[in-house]
Structure 1
Amino acid sequence: MITDSEELDTGIDDVIRFENVVKRYGRRDAPAVTDLTFSVRRGELVALVGPSGCGKSTILRMVNRLVEPTGGRVVVDGRDTSHVDVVDLRRGIGYVIQAGGLLPHRTIRQNVATVPRLLGWDASAQQRRVDELLDLVGLDPATYGDRYPAQLSGGQQQRVGVARALAADPPVLLMDEPFGAVDPVVRDRLQTQFRRIQTDLRKTVLFVTHDLDEAVRIADRIALFSAGGVLEQFADPRTLLSAPATEFVVEFTGSDRGLRRLAVTPLHVEDLAKPLVLAPGDGAAYAATALDVDRGDVAVVVSDGRVLGWVARGRLREAARSRDARVRDVVQPFTATVSVRDGLRGAFSALLAQDAPLLPVLDGDRYVGALTPDVVHDALRRDVDA
């Protein structure tokens, strides 16, 4: 088991804590979970990742006592769960599973209101909460509230499942491969939407997934397990991918973990390329000479801080044969731009999708530099050396 001492800090911000937890399903069976100790901080999303049969779902279900540990203890919000009434415990923990786990004979509104109704909320409070949560997950209450689960798509059912889990405003949310049953396009949208919701609500979340890319995209920290529920590494996504702690982690993250790191490596203005900047009214002959002096092949055309496009040395030289030619006459528009607040993954994808050899990076509407393949490489190397 590989951890950092600070990651096992059991301070007051730890909402979920596993202390030397063991789970066996028979006396002679190998443990499903082996001497597990780690904690989840308040407002943190921790993804549990590993191969099939490594105990991820078992670990998750020990939090709400759907599975009881054989040894050790699970602590939620400072209370040993074995000493808490199981019904009271579960009412304070949201739970989301594949396909949403919705009741097929109840409307969407009734499904979302399940826990508030059990808690005795009055009808008006239930309705307000349902409407609020359906709006939060992007479903119009007037359109979807009176439908039944079978009338919704898989992605819509998953959103209802998230809304139902949040209905009583639980401090802890357990999610067991919630997006695993939908197609990749819908999964991508659900991940984006859930990350936005989590940013706003800051729930304490344990999230089981078999998809490392999903974990890298949405998690604050990742707990990676091998067979027997052995915790191999517990770290933030960048550390997991740039500094794997064991040979198992190296093998599981794969030879393409460098590409995965694009999703968690930020853009920094100081790392961006600074190609020659030209104004649209500059003469073509002057611009061609300036590019020669700059020893560049491409210039970015900017007016009042706004990027207009790019121009190559060859086109400038050709245009310079005409005394009156201007940069604006040969400028080529970019097909995409990215924000300095975006990660490298989306930016690199946009760079590859266009013909230009660089991609302009904006701070708001203002041009601040360019992304090139060399910038991507240097940013990834800096991440490793840091």
Structure 2
Amino acid sequence: MISEGGSGPGVAQDDVAIRFEGVGKRYRDGTEAVRELTLDVRRGELVALVGPSGCGKSTILRMVNRLVEPTSGRVLVDGRDTSGVDAVELRRGIGYVIQAGGLMPHRSVRDNVATVPKLLGWDARERRRRADELLELVGLDPHVHGRRYPAELSGGQQQRVGVARALAADPPVLLLDEPFGAVDPVVRDRLQVEFRRLQTELGKTALFVTHDLDEAVRMADRIAVLSTGGHLEQYAAPATLLSEPATDFVVEFVGSDRGLRRLAVTPIRPEDLETPTTLAPGDGVAYASTALEVDGRSWGVVLDGERRELVGWVPRAPLTEAMRRGDRAGRVADWTLPFDVTVQRAETMRTAFSALLAQELRFLPVLDGAEFLGVITPDVVHTALRSGARPTGPDSSDPDGSGAA
């Protein structure tokens, strides 16, 4: 097994895209920015570097493309020691994204995207084709935005162009230094989702610096928490980091609300859901009222057909009142109310809990496509967090259980 803190026999070199072997950075004045860092980033993985200001996050990132030279240890990219590779050649093979995209203001959007292909000697037609292809990939119309200049774009659009430029020469590795920090929260949320989709779809390895732990939890496969002086405190999957912080520093860094943050990495599991009384639209009032009374329910869920498609919900009180008045001819359909909000099983518990809090009802239906699975209630959220304290599966837990460096 491999320790989440570094390399080991559990991960073959062919599976490692970036490897730090005892890497350190000390400046002439004696300042130690990074201390003997040993850490692997697997192919196709997104790893976030987090920690307080001055902990060496950006220094570590820039040692990968030799914008900063390490003073000890080795950095390997695709198995090659970067110290033996020409720095310019190395950088042309690594995508690099910074805040506001780092775009050249005097060049058009299309030319910005095509920067590296031009340096690599691609002809003009191929550069344009690639730039337009990538603009479409990041959600920008090349016919509308290609001729514009960075100053004519919004902050979110500039960041999308920065991502497109980083992908232009199809690099296997992407470095991102707080790329979404300069945009407003709404745009930032969309960019996070879009970048994660692209990274997964394209199979890129990404090393991501952020000061925002929530961003790291939402986006990363694994998170490296660094303390001042570049010391690696813990390297683990988000769920493990939040449920089992390895050191006092990590406990303090993730904060007392780490339980709430864990909702972002807690899946919706059918076995955790509450199973309410289910009724059909054609059921009679007497039957429905009795069924709810026997189950001790004040409401029931109305499903239509063998595929368990959700129709809505029905409160018991009007059914009981109808019976009291002697109206036994009515059907459940007459009293069914629609759900304003539903959530899909593929979402996280954070999304579901947010939707639950935003409505008056104390229950929220969960669907798998059109099929009804159950409902989420506050008790379900609590149970899911408790049962998910120790994540399972090869991609969601520490192999050795420690996560410490």
TM-score, length basis structure 1: 0.97
Structure 1 residue 142 and structure 2 residue 147: aligned? no
Indicate if the aligned counterparts of 1:55 and 1:229 stay in contact, CA closer than 8 A: yes
Counterparts of residues 134-173 of structure 1 (less than 5 Å) = 134-173=135-174
The reply on whether 1:226 has 2:227 as its aligned counterpart is yes
1:361 aligns with 2:362: no
In structure 2, the CA distance between the partners of 1:165 and 1:258, relative to structure 1 (3 Å rule), is same
CA distance in 1, matches of 2:146, 2:7: 48
Alpha-carbon contact 2:6-2:38 (below 8 Å) kept: no
- Structure 2 length as normaliser, TM-score? 0.92
1:38-49 counterparts in 2 under 5 A?
A: 38-49=39-50
- Match among 323, 340, 344 for residue 339 of structure 1: 344
* 1:375 shift after superposition: 1.2
Deviation string 1:26-78 (CA, Å, 9 cap, x unpaired) is 2533x110110001001110000011111000000000000000111111111
CA distance in 2, matches of 1:70, 1:5: 20
Larger RCO (CA within 8 A; separation ≥ 6):
2
Unaligned runs of 5+ in 2: 392-405
Question: Matches of residues 51-62 of structure 1 in structure 2 within 5 Å?
Answer: 51-62=52-63
Identity of aligned residues (%): 68
1:311 to 309, 314, 327: 314
In structure 1, distance between residues paired with 2:318 and 2:260: 34
Distance 2:102 2:297 in 1: 58
Equivalent residue number for residue 19 of structure 1 = 21
1:316 Cα shift? 2.2
Distance 2:236 2:9 in 1: 8
Match of 1:126 in 2: 127
Q: Is the 8 A contact 2:345 2:366 kept in 1?
A: yes
2:384 maps to: 379
For structure 1, list consecutive stretches of 5 or more residues without a partner in the other structure. Answer: none
Distance 1:343 1:2, change over 3 A: closer
- Does the residue aligned with 1:342 lie in a helix, a strand or coil? coil
Deviation at 1:325, TM superposition (A): 2.4
Aligned residues: 385
Correspondences of 1:277-288 after superposition (within 5 Å) = 277-288=278-289
Name which of structure 1's ranges 318-327 and 35-44 shifts more when overlaid on structure 2: 318-327
Secondary structure of 1:228's aligned partner: coil
Distance 1:257 1:7, change over 3 A: farther
2:196 aligned residue: 195
Partners of 2:173 and 2:29 in 1: CA distance: 32
Letter of the structure 1 residue corresponding to residue 67 of structure 2: L
Quickly say closer, same or farther: Cα 1:146–1:187, change in 2 above 3 A. same
The worse-fitting range, judged by mean Cα deviation, of 135-144 and 357-366 is 357-366
Cα displacement string for residues 292-349 of structure 1 (whole angstroms, at most 9, x for unaligned residues): 1112222101112221111222232123332222212222211111111111111111
Deviations 1:164-185 (A, max 9, x none): 0000000110000000000100
Distance in 2, matches of 1:104 and 1:5, equals: 42
| Equivalent residues of 2:5, 2:38 under 8 A apart | no
Shift of 1:4: 7.0
Residue type of the alignment partner of 1:310:
W
Which residue identity does 1:315 align to in structure 2? P
